[in-house]
Amino acid sequence: MGASLRGGPHYSMTLLEIKTRVWERLDEDATSPLRYTGARVREFVNDGLQYMVARAGARINSYTLVTSKGQIFYQLPADCITVLGVDRVTPQEKVWPVDIRELDRSYPSWRAMMGDRAQWYLIFGMDQLVMLPLMSSGGDSYTVTYRQDLGTDPTVLDTDVPEVPRRFHDALVDYAVARGLMLNADAEALERAAPLMENFHHQVDLLRRVAHRTPDAVSRMREQDFGSSLR
């Protein structure tokens, strides 16, 4: 039997609840923490959350791209990790991913090709989307779906809820506790931190498996958690 994808208790936690559990496990006074301040624990939680989302590709977003006549490069969003797909809006048509070598082999003159709709797309560098053939006229709309990174401060307020399914919130507690223990830099603390960090990485791998089953799998899990889409 395969590993369970539950990832921990089905208990959705706010940032304050996560911090409180971290303080308890670090034997810190939650009402007036000294060594592990609220800001420091929040930093730990956000670091773990950013790693979890980036490693698992668990956050999906999309935007509408409107083509311009003869334009080669289109800027991808700053939070784009990887493009999952491009689809023409009207009529609905799939645009196929391709690489330059394949184009050179199959369509040697592709750089001079013009058309009224995109048939292929490729990623140029880290942040440029190329739509091919080049548009002979502008104004055509396409939906670009991508795996989205989190901002620098994904949780700020104590009422914020981490943007991963609730079954993985407990892994963020483990990560933050492990980070706190590692500040002590003694053998006993590091020994306590090791299994917590190991469990965190295990949960990240489980989340990655969920996220890669279908592009919207994690979003549907979030809808089940909260009753509405939180993509």
At 229 the pLDDT is 34
Whether the pTM exceeds 0.85: the reply is: no
185: left (phi over 0), alpha (psi -120 to 50) or beta: left
- 59-63, 90-94, 178-182, 212-216 — which is least confidently predicted? 212-216
Average pLDDT (186-193) is 91
One-character DSSP codes across 108-175? TTGGG-EESS--EEEEETTTEEEEESEESSS--EEEEEEEE---S-S--STT---SS-GGGHHHHHHH
Report yes or no: 27 and 91 within 8 Å, Cβ to Cβ: no
What pLDDT does residue 216 have?
60
Q: Quick check: 205 pLDDT over 80? A: yes
Q: Rounded to an integer, what distance in angstroms lies between the CA atom of residue 21 and that of residue 177?
A: 9
> Percent of the chain scored above 90 by pLDDT?
54
* pLDDT at residue number 68: 95
pLDDT value at 20 more than 50: yes
Q: What confidence score (pLDDT) does residue 36 get?
A: 93
Considering only 39-43, 46-50, 111-115, which range has the smallest mean pLDDT? 111-115
Give the residue with greater pLDDT, 33 vs 93: 93
pLDDT value of residue 73:
93
pLDDT, residue 94, reads 95
Q: For tokens 């670090």, what's the residue?
A: 26
Taking residues 38-43, what's their average pLDDT? 94
In the prediction, which pLDDT does 210 show? 82
Q: Which of 172, 175, 170, 168 is nearest to 221 (CA)?
A: 168
Cα–Cα separations (whole angstroms), residue 179 to 45, 64, 122, 185: 9, 40, 39, 10
Whether the per-residue pLDDT at 185 is higher than 90: the answer is: no
pLDDT confidence of residue 197:
96
Please compute the mean of the pLDDT values over residues 6-33 and round it to a whole number: 82
Q: Is the Cβ–Cβ distance between 45 and 20 less than 8 Å?
A: no
User: Do strands 114-115 and 80-88 pair parallel, antiparallel, or not at all (unpaired)?
Assistant: unpaired
Angle (deg, nearest 10), helices 187-213 and 38-56 = 40
User: Quick one: pLDDT at residue 31?
Assistant: 86
